[in-house]
């Protein structure tokens, strides 16, 4: 196992702040703190060469987990071994093996062209000139950014910048890559290019990758294995196929109707996951689909539109996380 975490927990200490000037004065003398558990008793074993999708709703503990695995944060409890190193010791040899890329944070210098940063990176990570040139060539070709290397970062688009960020991190050939929402806010083309790159890099170097994302396509296209966190706890750890298998029996029905509708009778058959004036989204087991449709025909004055689809990935995550329907 290249990554092994046992009983990993992280509590943040949060300073309770009351608002208002008077309170901020009072605060100076009577500071109170509470503890917030972000990750709780997490076990995680990852084999070399695996790509693991780490998912969960906002605040589930994904970033905190990656920060502990890469040694940016001290765990409150538990043990971690990454490539045989204790991450938080941040040994030089360890840092050379890992890369941590955050989609919402820049590491490149704003006013410098990317190439200058790459050269600086080469020095820090002690990459041989020949290896540097070769790798840079491959990466630049892959992302088709040759013409952009000498332009200051600030003049590049978000997608172009992210590609440069990735090159900057991959130039020293890391063996373990932590990607925290690497495609956030990017256009479709850039998202696709990044996914493709991650897969190719993994394929050719057998690097180990943990990726978090809000875009399910990122996970579906890159990861075989999915780990789902909910309130800091692991609630699922298996293949994507297995995840779908458990929920393949659910369908989503979208109805656009006019007039009144008896919600209670629908709730007996399916779960209403979204409700507006004249629209309703119902999650229902395939075996009860017909029954539900008959009921809708009977209950609704008039049905304007009706669609049936498979349950989407983010709804599966909500279900795995045990979230109740909001209606
Ligand atoms: N520096 C911090 N101080 C206090 N609480 C934090 C801090 N960072 C994250 N949290 C809290 O810890 C929980 C997990 O956060 P995070 O790991 O960022 O989740 P995710 O990446 O899945 O959205 C959230 O409730 C968040 O508010
Ligand atoms: Mg996060």
pLDDT at 227: 96
Nearest CA to ligand 1 atom 26: 59
The 10s digit of each residue's pLDDT in 256-269 is 988 777 888 899 99
Asked whether residue 260 falls in the same domain as residue 240, the answer is no
pLDDT higher than threshold 70 for residue 186: yes
User: Are residues 234 and 254 located together in one domain of the fold?
Assistant: no
pLDDT digits (tens, 9 = 90+) for 123-141: 999 999 999 999 999 999 9
Asked whether residue 147 is assigned to any structural domain, the reply reads yes
Number of domains in the chain: 2
Query: Does 285 reside within a domain?
Result: yes
Verify that 208 and 108 share a domain, yes or no.
Answer: yes
Q: Give yes or no: residues 276 and 149 share one domain.
A: no
Residue 69 lies inside a defined structural domain of this protein = yes
pLDDT of residue 147: 97
- Please report, for residues 174, 280, 295, 324, 325, the alpha-carbon distance to residue 264 in angstroms, rounded to integers and kept in the order given: 55, 13, 11, 16, 14
Residues 113 and 195 in one domain: yes
Instruction: Write down the number of H helices and E strands in the chain.
Output: 12, 13
Mean of the per-residue pLDDT values for the chain?
91
Distance between Cα 214 and ligand 2 center (Å): 9
* 311 and 167 co-located in one domain: no
**CA of 56, closest atom in ligand 1:** 22
**Which atom, in ligand 1's list, is nearest to the CA of 67?**
17
Least confident of 18-22, 117-121, 272-276, 308-312: 18-22
Q: In this model, does residue 249 exceed pLDDT 60?
A: yes
What CATH number should be reported for the domain holding residue 148?
Answer: 3.40.50.300
For ligand 1, atom 5, which residue shows the shortest CA distance?
12
Helices within the chain (DSSP H only)? 21-29, 62-69, 92-97, 114-124, 129-143, 158-170, 188-205, 216-222, 240-247, 263-267, 289-299, 313-320
Last residue of one domain, picked from the residues 188, 212, 244: 244
**Which token pair is 166?**
């990735």
Residues 150 and 260 in one domain: no
Compute, in angstroms, the gap from residue 235 CA to the centroid of ligand 1: 18
Between the CA of 60 and the centroid of ligand 1 the distance, in Å, is 8
Specify whether 30 is located in the same domain as 142: yes
Looking from the CA of residue 66, the nearest atom of ligand 1 is 17
pLDDT in tens, 150-172: 999 999 999 999 999 999 999 99
State the ligand closest to the CA atom of 62.
1
Q: How confident is the model at residue 314 (pLDDT cuts 50, 70, 90)?
A: confident
- If asked whether residues 182 and 266 sit together in one domain, one would say no
- Centroid of ligand 2 to alpha carbon of 104 (angstroms): 10
Tens-place pLDDT, residues 94-126: 999 999 999 988 889 999 999 999 999 999 999
- d(Cα 93, Cα 126) in Å, to the nearest integer? 11
Least distant ligand from the CA of 182? 2
Is the pLDDT reported for residue 326 higher than 80? no
Based on the fold, state whether residues 73 and 10 are members of the same structural domain.
yes
239 and 186: one domain? yes
**Structural domain boundaries, residue 254:** 250-320
């Amino acid at each position: 196992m290249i990554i092994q975490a046992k009983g990993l927990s992280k509590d943040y200490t949060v300073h309770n702040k009351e608002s208002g000037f008077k309170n901020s004065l009072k605060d100076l003398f009577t500071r109170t703190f509470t503890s917030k558990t972000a990750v709780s008793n997490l076990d995680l074993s990852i084999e070399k060469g695996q790509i693991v999708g780490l998912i969960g709703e906002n605040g589930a503990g994904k970033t905190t987990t990656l920060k502990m695995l890469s040694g940016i944060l001290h765990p409150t409890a538990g043990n971690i071994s990454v490539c045989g190193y204790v991450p938080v010791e941040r040994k030089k040899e360890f840092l050379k093996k890992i890369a941590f890329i955050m989609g919402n944070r820049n590491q490149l210098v704003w006013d410098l062209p990317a190439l200058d940063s790459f050269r600086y990176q080469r020095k820090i990570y002690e990459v041989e000139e020949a290896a540097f040139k070769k790798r840079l060539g491959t990466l630049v070709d892959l992302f088709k950014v040759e013409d952009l290397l000498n332009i200051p970062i600030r003049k590049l688009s978000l997608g172009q910048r992210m590609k440069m960020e990735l090159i900057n991190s991959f130039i020293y050939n890391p063996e373990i890559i932590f990607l925290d929402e690497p495609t956030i806010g990017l256009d479709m083309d850039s998202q696709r290019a990044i996914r493709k790159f991650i897969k190719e890099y993994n394929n050719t170097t057998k690097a180990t990758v943990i990726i978090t994302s809000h875009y399910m396509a990122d996970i579906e296209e890159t990861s075989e294995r999915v780990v789902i966190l909910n309130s800091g706890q692991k609630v699922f750890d298996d293949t994507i196929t297995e995840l779908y298998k458990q929920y393949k029996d659910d369908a989503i029905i979208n109805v656009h109707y006019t007039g009144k509708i008896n919600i209670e009778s629908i709730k007996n058959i399916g779960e209403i996951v979204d409700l507006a004036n004249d629209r309703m989204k119902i999650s229902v087991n395939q075996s009860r689909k017909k029954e539900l449709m008959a009921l809708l025909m009977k209950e609704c004055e008039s049905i304007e539109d009706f669609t049936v689809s498979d349950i989407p990935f983010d709804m599966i995550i909500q279900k795995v996380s045990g979230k109740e329907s909001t209606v």
